[in-house]
Structure 1
Amino acid sequence: MVETAPEADANTHNNAPARSSSIGFNMGRHSSSNTRINEILENARERAQSMAPTASPTNLSPMPAGSPILPPNSALKANPANDDSSADEATGFISHTPPLNYSSLNVTSAATSGPRARKTSTRSSRQIPPSRPNSNGAVPSSQANQQDEPDDEGQPWWKAQAEKFHSIELENKGSVARDHLAIERTFLAWLRTSLSFASIGIAVTQLFRLNTSLESGNDGDKISDRNAATLRHMGKPLGTTFLGISILVLFLGYKRYFQSQQYVIKGKFPASRGTIMIVAFVALAIMIASLVVVIAIHPSEHELLVNVPAPFENNRTIVQKSIMASKLKPVDIPTFATTQLALLDQELQTEINETSDLISNHSPTALQRAGIALTNLVVSGQRTGLGGRTVVELSPDAATGSADELPEHGLRTGDIVLVAEQPAGSAKKREVKDLEKKGARGVVTKVRREWVSVAIDEGKEEVAFTGRVWAVKLADEVTYKRMNWTMEKLNKMDESEYSSLTRVLFGLSSPSPVATDLTKDESVGNLDWFDPTLNDSQKDAIRFALASREVALIHGPPGTGKTHTLIELILQMIKLEQRILVCGPSNISVDNVVERLAPHKVPILRLGHPARLLPSVVDHSLDVLTQTSEAGTIVKDIRSEMDTKQASIKKTKSGKERKAIYNDLKELRKEFRERERRCVSTLIGGSKVVLATLHGAGGYQLRNEEFDVVIIDEASQALEAQCWVPLVSAKKVVCAGDHLQLPPTIKSTNTKVKAPVKEGVKITKGATLEVTLFDRLLALHGPSIKRMLTTQYRMHESIMRFPSDELYDSKLIAADAVKHRLLKDLEYEVEDNEDTSEPVIFIDTQGGDFPEKNEEDDKDTPKKGKASLHGDSKSNEMEAALVQQHVKQLVAAGVRPEDIAVVTPYNAQLAVLAPLKDKFPGIELGSVDGFQGREKEAVIVSLVRSNSEGEVGFLGERRRLNVIGDSETVQKGSSFLKKWMQYLEDNADLRYPDASSLTHD
């Protein structure tokens, strides 16, 4: 027991509680800070007095109110025994003298203040050095009371470690709390600065990497492509710099925080330090992650614009206009597939409804005049075709008085037709389903002037056509079935099953970058060209297609030698030992490639029925090769046996014998197909180049075949679902086409018999049938995946200039061979007159003497609500007479009919112009859509439209370039047509015909 002076004991005993109460009361009353701090310091003085060995009550006097605040240990400075604190400790926040600790303060206070509750300090576990006896030989109370403290040496080590991170008992709580808050506020300022730099870095990166805020709506305000590309490239280094600064600032703030803490207290961590550490760690992690993303992520397609060679830089403007207009957005694969399935079903149902409506409301003769049917036929022959299918030959029925030749009709090779007994010409309503019960579907395999052959579908071979029959065009359901099968396969795919090509084509990943200057590339820089006459743009396109790993687009405007370029590309790929599948939306597009590839003597195979092919490519068809190859010998023998039995059916009168023959034929067909399948597999496996239509590539022959590259010609004229038939399992694709020419025809958007879309299906804008694969790839990846052919070999410069300026950003250049060539300069003799010495002639029919005519005005048109043969088509008989007159003048001048084409956008006008074929058999008549891609020396375009309202209909479509017409009506259409009319007025030979001098036969 330590004896103390009675005065000190009484003073301590009586005053300490009172001051504690006073402090609590004043703090409850929100007393001023100085008052609270003075009271705290006064209490500290008294407690320091009681602990000091030589202290006496007379040494310390109460601090008068209003006196300056002094550090608590300043009073101890007078005592040399206690003057062992450092300079840093002179701040007076806590006592750091060696004999003292926070527990001793509490113990002494408890001893001097009576029954005051004892506080347990988190630092009580610290060893207390032995105290020296005072002048009276007594041990200080702290040492004495230490003997009453529990022994902590037996507590677990982890508990002792954990206690180090507990909050500490501070002697001067108010002052220390204030300084701690100041330090934390300083750190938060550093953190805000750091995060500001990080935010700027991320914002700068995204601003310059994305294609936003870099283009104005006005052409004159647009930033140049080179500047835009440069700005985008600046995004990465700028973003990296700002993020680096942010991390540096965070480290500096973190360091300063703990450095300041050390000046305040040289002890264990306060609790607030853990919070600061967590905040700093999270902020640092976010910044480092952002930095890694900025540095490591692949440059976007827009950044790669700098890789486009100089001659093609400004081509981006054209693409941007069409993409900005369409506003396409990336579509996920399941949504795309679901939307396509719904729209394809709608398109098919529209075609079926249209055909059914026409058959129900028109006589067979009217349908024949419209090119939809062929009437008064009999079966004149029957044989076995490819796949064991029965092929019937249909010829004119002599009993009807028909000539030996077929009348004018619209059936073409590859058309799907229904062959059935011909109904009477009465107005009895007929349904397609009723006709099918008595007939059979088939494919037109060959068209001659004397007959038409049709391959009958499987399962319908036994249908007997004994009387008069007719053939009616139907919708091609086989094509839709294959597109649907492909879309369903895409829809069922798991994300892990997507090929690298599929991911690129849907924008899930970016195409691999291609070197800027491919002439210096080791693999494609020094190619040995098979055709040395290729121009620079063609060579660049070929190098780019070879160097691209996933996708390449070859943009070929009219006459720029797109097919010529593809042939060279195919030959170069064969040289690299690659296997190629070449596809197109139509047989003619594929056959054009076969014709030009055949002279190079490469192993090629053309899939498809030989009757649908051009005669010049039949020798490369699968059908012919199966007959001429060694493996096809047995197949040929089986086919001969089948033909013999097929012919014997007509001679057999007994039903029992006929049934036996059919059973034999059934077994022979089974064996035939099996052996043919083996033969086909052998032939396809040995071919380096396989060619087929897009839907033909979905046949069983190619199911398990793998190709290194798929090339799609005329990709901009194909439905995207068609393109996916060969692309589902492809590794690389090269698309060639011109997205600025006519798109594929979509009937479900332009007909009155439009079928409804299935319920519950939401149509996504970026996945409609009007959007081609070519369009979508440009919208997703920009012009960095495209190369444009710029030299055209088809048109006179005066004809070329307008489309070049308006559609191709003035990039087209006319080759010297055609730049100034006119009709009078043809290889054969042609008279030099006003019709053959002008490159562009515009015959203006304005004035009302050449009025258009709606088909509804025709007396033969069905009543309202029923389908017309030409839809909402228009015709203009006076304009047709004008066309006929001009054709006569050209032929009279020496131009061959085979070099002349008459084109019109309306089918009804084609029907009016049909007599031209009788007078000039070699002339070609066609629609604008059907004639696209063809070449003739003289092309006459009949615009048809001439009305007081100025309505131009779909002529307003900027991809329809039109040349005989009413300027007053046409220029009231779109701005594109207005520019076209203005161009003709400035550059064409304008003529104003006299309607009274015309006669129309």
Structure 2
Amino acid sequence: MELVTCQDFVRLHLRLLEMEHRQQRERQRQQASGNLLSSVAVTAASRTFCGQRLVLRSTGPRARKLPRHSIRANDHVITRRASDSVVARRTAGRTASREPVPGDVWCGVVSRVTKAELTLDFGEVTSLVVGEPVSVMRTDDEMTHKNMVKALEELAEAKGGPILRMRAALFAEHGPPGTGKTATVVEVILQHQRLGQRVLVCAASHNAVDNVLDRLEAARGERMVRVAVETVKDIDVSDDDDDDDDGDASEHFPTDGKAPFDLVVIEECSQALEAACWLAAPLANKLLLAGDHSQLPPMVLSREAAEKGLAVSLMERQMALHGAAVVRMLRTQYRMHEHIQRWPSEAMYGSLLEAAPAVCRHRLSQLPGVRDTTETGPVLLVVDTAGCRLEETPDSKMGSIANEGEADIVVAHARALLRAGLDIGQLGVISPYKRQLDLVRARLRQLRLDVAVGTVDGFQGREKEAVLLSLVRSNQRGQVGFLAERRRINVAVTRARRQLFVVCDTATVRSDAFLASLVDHLVEHGEVRSAHAYRNYLGVAARGRWRWLDATEAGEP
């Protein structure tokens, strides 16, 4: 990576941030009709380290499903009591303000979205109670944008102080999947606390910070303060016994030029915009970046801004510039069977990963209550649909792609694992395509099976004993779309602990060299089945395209 001056870097990123901000506003304008979500009520409320978490469900006639909306995870929202919804309706068609609104109104961030539920995190405790109807409106996140711009401008003007001293104390913890990155971060925090030092921990998402805080609380319970920017949280692990932590966080930041913290930790740094990291980085003389740049990058809507560098995280850039001088890679992973681990290790991590003895040979059948069957036995199992005419079908309305036959095969294998005794919470279904997930969910719902189903993005940071991966793409042109995104496939594969089940058209996915290496690994170290073995499980839609084979060749999985 080419070295640039601080001023040139700031000028470039200010332009890229403006591109991204325009794209965000354009998306809101196009989806204005979905900015408002009404006819929902609070179904669960719990305290968090920084405030409160609320879970909302529909109160309408179709209570199993939320009304149509366009609110997504990490969106900033305004939540009102239902009595205030008339005001919300008037402003739903235009960009909402982040300025305080009189009345029972709370600003929060969406942490999770499913078809049935919306989970919101607030930096304060609301007066809402379970059963109370509310309305939720997505807002334009002007505050975070302005703060990132300000942080970059201050970076360009810095002449001394912590921001320059920090350059001599930069450290990056590269934590591939399952290597205990968060546990290591927590230990670093606790060791600094034992030395009487102050530590600031932050991340781009509430979930990432809460994950660290959960582990800290389990270790010894720690106090925390909340900074002014809603997307950044911090944690005060000093030995100061002053309990007055309810004021603005700026009260904790001295203005005498000294760093208010001894260490800043940016968790999941590889998923954060670099400009956001500079909100916290100047607050200490030492900076620890924790993450994995081989997993999902920061989410950037503007393709032009991403291609020009906005999607490159602070961690990835520093690793490219300084390499081993600032990076320590965790090499022992405690999640995956060695056969699952070997491919990402070779493809993404220079063959440096090793499986801990406790997990290197663990299998599904070793779990309590799980029988050893033809379905639970394999660690790697690939079902090949090549030549079976189970082709992809585009969905023009959703702008997504599905594969009916693959959905049927995934559900058939899920049923087989559950019948063999696998707990439903130990099973997960992943696909890069949302339309495919809709098909799988619908089939599982018909069978009354509440299996975790999600996109690659939704499963980052999670793990399951068995992961069923549907790659969807099957066409004569060999087009694989964004399956070619290496980091996305890496995340999907490394969610599995004891079994990785992949259904795909090997003829199509082999057109990409990276995907071909995955198929080769599955074939060499796992079990391969033809999709025709699942013919009896295919739905009516898929049967219409099925090329029936001779009855003597047909079998069941």
The answer to whether the superposition gives a TM-score over 0.5 is: yes
Aligned residues: 499
Does 2:27 match 1:500? no
Distance 2:508 2:262 in 1: 52
Contact 1:421–1:469 under 8 Å retained in 2:
no
Contact 2:20–2:301 under 8 Å retained in 1:
yes
Please give the secondary structure, in 2, of the residue aligned with 1:843.
strand
Q: Which amino acid aligns with 2:522?
A: L
RMSD (Å), alpha carbons:
4.4
Please give the secondary structure, in 2, of the residue aligned with 1:934.
coil
Contact 1:711–1:734 under 8 Å retained in 2:
yes
Aligned partner of 1:966 among 489, 505, 509: 505
Describe how 1:22-33 pairs up with structure 2 within 5 A: none
C-alpha displacement at 1:586, in angstroms? 1.6
Instruction: Give the aligned partner of residue 226 of structure 2.
Output: 607
Does 2:418 match 1:891? yes
Instruction: Give the aligned partner of residue 382 of structure 2.
Output: 842
Deviations 1:77-101 (A, max 9, x none): xxxxxxxxxxxxxxxxxxxxxxxxx
Instruction: Give the aligned partner of residue 151 of structure 2.
Output: 486
Return closer, same or farther for 1:916/1:730 CA change in 2, 3 Å cut-off. Answer: farther
Instruction: Give the aligned partner of residue 297 of structure 2.
Output: 743
Distance 2:327 2:143 in 1: 33
Aligned partner of 1:336 among 9, 30, 33: 9
Q: Which amino acid aligns with 2:4?
A: V
Distance 1:394 1:562 in 2: 32
Deviations 1:629-688 (A, max 9, x none): 996xxxxxxxxxxxxxxxxxxxxxxxxxxxxxxxxxxxxxxxxxxxxxx6425xx9xxxx
Q: Which amino acid aligns with 2:408?
A: A
Please give the secondary structure, in 2, of the residue aligned with 1:560.
coil
Contact 2:95–2:139 under 8 Å retained in 1:
no
C-alpha displacement at 1:501, in angstroms? 3.8
Does 2:250 match 1:725? no
Please give the secondary structure, in 1, of the residue aligned with 2:531.
coil
Return closer, same or farther for 1:475/1:435 CA change in 2, 3 Å cut-off. Answer: closer
Aligned partner of 2:464 among 930, 936, 945: 936
Please give the secondary structure, in 1, of the residue aligned with 2:289.
strand
Instruction: Give the aligned partner of residue 796 of structure 1.
Output: 337
Instruction: Give the aligned partner of residue 545 of structure 2.
Output: none
Instruction: Give the aligned partner of residue 585 of structure 1.
Output: 204
Instruction: Give the aligned partner of residue 246 of structure 2.
Output: 680
Does 2:528 match 1:990? yes
Q: Which amino acid aligns with 2:380?
A: V
Aligned partner of 1:432 among 71, 84, 94: 94
Does 2:406 match 1:879? yes
Distance 1:722 1:406 in 2: 32
Instruction: Give the aligned partner of residue 519 of structure 2.
Output: 981
Distance 1:907 1:701 in 2: 45
Distance 1:949 1:576 in 2: 61
Contact 1:852–1:947 under 8 Å retained in 2:
yes
The percent of aligned pairs where both chains have the same amino acid is 34
C-alpha displacement at 1:924, in angstroms? 1.7
Contact 1:446–1:612 under 8 Å retained in 2:
no
C-alpha displacement at 1:412, in angstroms? 7.5
C-alpha displacement at 1:433, in angstroms? 4.2
Deviations 1:608-627 (A, max 9, x none): 89x999xxx9xx999xxxxx
Instruction: Give the aligned partner of residue 673 of structure 1.
Output: none
Please give the secondary structure, in 2, of the residue aligned with 1:888.
helix
Question: Per residue, is there more strand in 1 or in 2?
Answer: 2
Return closer, same or farther for 1:478/1:441 CA change in 2, 3 Å cut-off. Answer: farther
C-alpha displacement at 1:719, in angstroms? 1.3
Q: Which structure is richer in relative contact order (CA contacts within 8 A, separation 6 or more)?
A: 2
Q: Which amino acid aligns with 1:740?
A: S
Contact 1:873–1:906 under 8 Å retained in 2:
yes
Distance 1:580 1:435 in 2: 33
Describe how 1:56-75 pairs up with structure 2 within 5 A: none
Return closer, same or farther for 1:347/1:920 CA change in 2, 3 Å cut-off. Answer: farther
Return closer, same or farther for 1:497/1:582 CA change in 2, 3 Å cut-off. Answer: closer
Aligned partner of 2:19 among 346, 350, 362: 346
Contact 2:97–2:140 under 8 Å retained in 1:
no
Contact 1:339–1:764 under 8 Å retained in 2:
no
Contact 2:173–2:328 under 8 Å retained in 1:
yes
Aligned partner of 1:901 among 428, 436, 440: 428
Return closer, same or farther for 1:882/1:373 CA change in 2, 3 Å cut-off. Answer: farther
Q: Which amino acid aligns with 1:910?
A: L
Contact 1:486–1:728 under 8 Å retained in 2:
no
Please give the secondary structure, in 2, of the residue aligned with 1:680.
coil
Distance 1:386 1:576 in 2: 24
Question: Per residue, is there more helix in 1 or in 2?
Answer: 1
Distance 1:488 1:906 in 2: 39
Instruction: Give the aligned partner of residue 417 of structure 1.
Output: 77
Instruction: Give the aligned partner of residue 823 of structure 1.
Output: 364
C-alpha displacement at 1:577, in angstroms? 2.0
TM-score w.r.t. length of structure 2:
0.77
Instruction: Give the aligned partner of residue 709 of structure 1.
Output: 263
Return closer, same or farther for 1:416/1:709 CA change in 2, 3 Å cut-off. Answer: same
Contact 1:348–1:475 under 8 Å retained in 2:
no
Instruction: Give the aligned partner of residue 176 of structure 2.
Output: 557
Return closer, same or farther for 1:1000/1:404 CA change in 2, 3 Å cut-off. Answer: closer
Q: Which runs of 5 or more residues in structure 2 are unaligned?
A: 80-84, 127-132, 494-501, 541-557
Instruction: Give the aligned partner of residue 451 of structure 2.
Output: 923
Please say which structure displays the higher CA radius of gyration: 1
Please give the secondary structure, in 1, of the residue aligned with 2:335.
coil
Aligned partner of 1:952 among 480, 485, 502: 480
Distance 1:436 1:711 in 2: 28
Deviations 1:440-484 (A, max 9, x none): 8832589999997979999xx9xxxxxx98535455443323222
Q: Which runs of 5 or more residues in structure 1 are unaligned?
A: 1-327, 361-366, 425-429, 462-467, 505-510, 512-549, 623-628, 632-677, 685-698, 758-762, 862-869
Describe how 1:437-516 pairs up with structure 2 within 5 A: 442-443=107-108, 471-491=136-156, 493-496=157-160, 499-501=163-165, 504=167, 511=168
C-alpha displacement at 1:738, in angstroms? 1.5
Distance 1:964 1:401 in 2: 37
Which moved further from structure 2: 550-559 or 915-924? 915-924
TM-score w.r.t. length of structure 1:
0.45
Deviations 1:512-557 (A, max 9, x none): xxxxxxxxxxxxxxxxxxxxxxxxxxxxxxxxxxxxxx01111111
Contact 1:482–1:725 under 8 Å retained in 2:
yes
Distance 1:456 1:817 in 2: 39
Distance 2:353 2:307 in 1: 35
C-alpha displacement at 1:943, in angstroms? 0.9
Please give the secondary structure, in 2, of the residue aligned with 1:838.
coil
Return closer, same or farther for 1:332/1:394 CA change in 2, 3 Å cut-off. Answer: same
Q: Which amino acid aligns with 2:361?
A: H
C-alpha displacement at 1:702, in angstroms? 5.0
Q: Which amino acid aligns with 1:376?
A: S
Return closer, same or farther for 1:405/1:742 CA change in 2, 3 Å cut-off. Answer: closer
Q: Which amino acid aligns with 2:246?
A: V
Distance 1:394 1:892 in 2: 32
Contact 2:76–2:110 under 8 Å retained in 1:
no
C-alpha displacement at 1:894, in angstroms? 0.7
Q: Which amino acid aligns with 2:370?
A: V
Distance 2:210 2:123 in 1: 24
Please give the secondary structure, in 1, of the residue aligned with 2:428.
strand
Deviations 1:99-129 (A, max 9, x none): xxxxxxxxxxxxxxxxxxxxxxxxxxxxxxx
Distance 1:793 1:388 in 2: 32
C-alpha displacement at 1:488, in angstroms? 2.3
